[in-house]
Amino acid sequence: MRYRQWLLITVLLLTSCTAAYAQEQNSAPETPTPPPISLLRNRDVLRMLGDGVKPGVIIAKILTSNCNFDVFPPVLRDLKRRGVPDTILLAMKTAPNGPPSLPEVDTKASPTAAVRIPEGTAHSLYGPDFPIPVMGKTGTTSDFRDALFVGSTYGPQGVTVAVRIGFDDNRTLGDKETGGRAALPIFREIMLLTYQQELVGSAPSFPREIEDGIDQYLQRQQSR
């Protein structure tokens, strides 16, 4: 059902932007052409709008390009405040990360990659309120003296954050002050602010083969 919805939205957007593009071509033959971009990000959309590229042309570019958009709700609100039209925001939300897949919508396993953490001490990093794909590990030393969390987004362009909570004199933090309870929320806040404000660009996606490996492992665990 999700892929049919994506296909329907894609067709509607393509129809809309094609009509808009044709009209713009008739009335404004000097419309700027989007520059060649290897991977579309939020800042590229803003740059094209600033250069005077028409919305219909930008939507067509989004639907036929490699994309890695940050569509976290506060980011979308900021883009709307900065003048990005709703039609472009919709295209950004529905465009899958990675290579364009319009001819392959019905054969792809999933249009986006998002690592799942359905249970365990880092479960708060799984859900719609944390849309950043990350990997990480909690840690707690004896007698709750140290609470730790180390995590990162994927690949050479990813960001690694290590959090350690503890006293210099090595006394206990208190009962049940674990890495998941004391350190992980700090990691979560740092990651959200880092990618919401695009301090290092958009969060990279995990490769499909890693996603498939996680799915297979979880299926094996559930079948036991």
- Tens of pLDDT along 162-213? 999 999 999 999 998 999 889 999 999 999 888 888 888 888 888 888 877 8
162 forms beta bridges with: 150
- Most confident range (mean pLDDT) of 4-8, 60-64, 212-216 is 60-64
Which residue has better confidence, 147 or 105? 147
Q: What is the largest CA-CA distance in the chain?
A: 74
Q: What are the residues facing 67 on neighbouring strands?
A: 40, 98
**pLDDT band, very low/low/confident/very high, at 62 (cuts 50, 70, 90):** confident
Residue 60 predicted with pLDDT over 90: no
pLDDT digits (tens, 9 = 90+) for 122-149: 656 766 677 788 888 999 999 999 999 9
32: Cβ–Cβ under 8 A, 6 or more apart, which residues?
51, 52, 53
Say yes or no to pLDDT of 90 above 70. Answer: yes
Angle value at C-alpha 217, between 155 and 149, nearest 5 degrees: 50
Which residue would you say has higher pLDDT here, 146 or 20? 146
Residue 149 has a pLDDT of 94
- What is the identity of the amino acid at 159? V
pTM of the model: 0.47
SS3 labels along 60-114: HHHHCCCECCCCCHHHHHHHHHCCCCHHHHHHHHHCCCECCCHHHCCCCCCCCCC
The predicted model gives 84-88 an average pLDDT of: 87
Q: What percent of the chain clears pLDDT 70, i.e. is strictly above it?
A: 68
d(CA 81, CA 111): 28
